[in-house]
Amino acid sequence: MSSVMATNRFGLGAKRGELRAAAEDPKAWVKAQLVPIVFSRELPSTAEAVKLLADFKKQKRMAKRKKSTLPEDFQKDLFKRYLTDYFQLAIASDNSVSMRLLRFWTNHFSVAARTPNMQVLAPTLQRDVISRHCLGKFEDLLLAVTQHPAMLTYLDNVYSIGPNSAAAKKNRGLNENLAREVMELHTIGVNGGYQQTDVTELAKALTGWSINTQSPTVDGAFQYKGWAHEPGTRRFRGKKYADTGVKQATDMLKSLARDPATARFICGKLVRHFVNDDPPPAIVNACVKRWQQTDGDLRAVFITLVEHPGAWDPKHKKFKTPEEFVISSFRGLRLLKPKERLVARGLATMGHAPYKAESPEGYGDIQQDWDGSAALMSRIEWSHEITRYVRKSAVKFAQNMLGNSVSQRTLTAIERAESSQQGATLLLMSPEFQWR
């Protein structure tokens, strides 16, 4: 039973053989999976992506001037390649617990790919920054995310100019979008204790945080543009911050990362994600305590969650998000290299398209966000479509995926199905597989 839980509650569903591997010591199996996810270097890194976009812009300008043919858009294709790469990695992964954490943090720091440029930048935030820091210190993760071109663009900071800075000119000025969401969504939460003045002060401190489009380095593409920075001392949440250039906002972000409200807000989200829509306070408190002892060591906090007996209580269960459902289906059915279209169209129809969340809050994480009748119908239709490629009896798959947690009712339904396609669809749509 608990090897099923290890692979489903904490991982992305069992691949063949994983239930057996996890059986002896499910907790140890989960912890052994905490290995940083490494993406292939074949696709552009953050710096390369920024460079590509800058070159493309230059070429386009040149072509316009010379009235020659414009260069062809490459962003959409590259976006598809990033997504395909991510899904194949997740489906084949031997460390799906780490993939789950990567997903959790990518949604926590949600960015949307609504413009061609963002289609290129958004995936690099996950590939280069979140994957590198999501088992490290929260403070490092927060700083690296906030300095990444995807976040700086998505929440408008690249356009924000200090009204009294050297770059100040008519019609351009402050934009407080990033400052607000950093506090409300990324750190202390909406009730974490801040006023409108704190938003404005942080926004001013963040002016000048921008992208180095000319010569990005291997470490990224962050550039502090002092000429756009609002000069002066800032008063932020009761403390004074002298004008120390880039350090001013960095210090503010560090203070947010260390705030107890941040530990509470994020541990609540983490326990809600892994254990129950209503996060059990005992587990949340244990995580918060560990967070404070370790200064926000995310690996240590997650291990505390995994080691808490309450996290393994079978009475808790979570309805899978569409992405969890899709990835666990491919893993279970051993469809390791699915066509991009099967993944993308399915997730779009189920309302969970990658990098298309409606707001910077990211996608919802409770059952009611995903269990509507239209969403269920899409899951059925999608399951029916992907199982066209299944040739074997689903009974075998059921054992690999769900072990002895599969119900007699489901087994009977699968056995009586009129085709292997129908049997596999029933397996994917069974209550045991819809919840984790």
Partner 1 sequence: MKRRDVLKWMGASFVALQAPSTFASTLPMKATAKKKLVWIVLRGALDSLHWIPPMHEKRQMQKLRPNLFAAISDKVLPLDQNFALHPALPTVHQWYREKQATPIVATYSGYGKRSHFEAQDYLERGGHQETNDDGWLARLVKVINSDSLAVARSTPISLRGDHDNLNWYPSNLPESDDGLFERLMHLYEESPILSERLAQGIALDEMTGLKRVKKVGRFPQLALSCGKLMNENPSVQVSMLELGGWDTHNQQAIRLSRRLQELDNGLKQLRIGLGNQWDDTLVVVATEFGRTAAENGTMGTDHGTASAILLAGGAVKGGNVLGDWPGLAPSNLYAGRDLKPTSNMYQWINTAVAQHFQLSDTQMKYLKTQQPLTDVSLIRTAVIA
Task: Give CA–CA dist 279/418, Å, rounded.
Answer: 41
CB of residue 400 to partner 1, shortest distance in Å: 20
Gap between the Cα atoms of 180 and 172, Å rounded: 19
- Please state the closest distance from residue 351 (CB atom) to partner 1, in A: 4
Measured CA distances, 105 to 14, 110, 145, 151, 291 (Å): 22, 8, 10, 13, 16
- Alpha carbon 180 to chain centroid, angstroms: 20
Residue 328 CB partners (closer than 8 Å, separation 6+) = 8, 12, 13, 320, 401, 433, 436
Our CB check for partner 1 shows the closer of 302 and 397 to be 397
407 token code pair: 């119900």
C-alpha distance from residue 30 to each of 97, 306, 408 (Å) = 7, 8, 28
Nearer to partner 1, 68 or 171 (CB): 171
Residue 72: CB minimum distance to partner 1, A: 24
Comparison of 40 and 373: residue with beta carbon closer to partner 1: 373
**CB 226 within 8 Å of CB 257:** no
Q: Which is nearer to partner 1, 23 or 344 (CB)?
A: 344
Min dist CB 69 to partner 1, Å, is 27
Minimum CB separation from partner 1 for residue 377, in Å? 4
Give the nearer residue to partner 1 in terms of CB position, either 15 or 318.
Answer: 318
CB of 384 to partner 1, least distance (A): 4
> Nearest approach, Cβ of 354 to partner 1 (angstroms)?
16
**Which is closer to partner 1, CB of 82 or CB of 433?**
433
- Cβ closer to partner 1: 194 or 241? 194
Q: Which of 237, 212, 99, 225 is nearest to 162 (CA)?
A: 225
Least Cβ distance, residue 371 to partner 1 (angstroms): 6
For 235, phi and psi rounded to 5 degrees? -110, 110
Nearer to partner 1, 70 or 377 (CB): 377
DSSP for 159-214, please give it.
G---TTSTT--TT-----HHHHHIIIIISS-TTSS--HHHHHHHHHHHTTEEE--S
- We find the least distance from the C-beta atom of residue 163 to partner 1, in angstroms, to be 7
CA distance readout (Å), 70 to 63, 76, 97, 121: 6, 16, 45, 22
17 conformational bin, left if phi > 0, alpha if psi -120 to 50, beta if neither: left
Residue with tokens 């609504």: 114
Shortest gap between Cβ of 97 and partner 1 (angstroms)? Answer: 27
Query: Residue 71 gets which letter from DSSP?
Result: P
Name which of 284 and 286 has its Cβ closer to partner 1. Answer: 284
Q: How far apart are CA 222 and CA 213, in angstroms?
A: 9
Helix (H, G, I), strand (E, B) or coil at 33: coil
The sign of the torsion formed by the CA atoms of 37, 38, 44, 49 equals: positive
Kindly tell me which of 30 and 386 has the beta carbon lying closer to partner 1: 386
Question: Which residues here bind partner 1, judged by CB under 8 A?
Answer: 156, 159-161, 163, 171-177, 180, 184-185, 190, 196, 199, 345-346, 348-351, 358-359, 361, 368-378, 380-382, 384-385, 409-410, 413, 416-418, 422, 425-426, 429-431, 434
Cα 77 from chain centroid (whole Å): 21
> CA-to-CA distance for 375 and 379, rounded, in angstroms?
6
Cβ 416 to partner 1 shortest distance, Å: 8
Q: Which is nearer to partner 1, 164 or 217 (CB)?
A: 164
Nearer to partner 1, 177 or 255 (CB): 177
Q: How far is the CB of 228 from partner 1 (least distance, A)?
A: 10
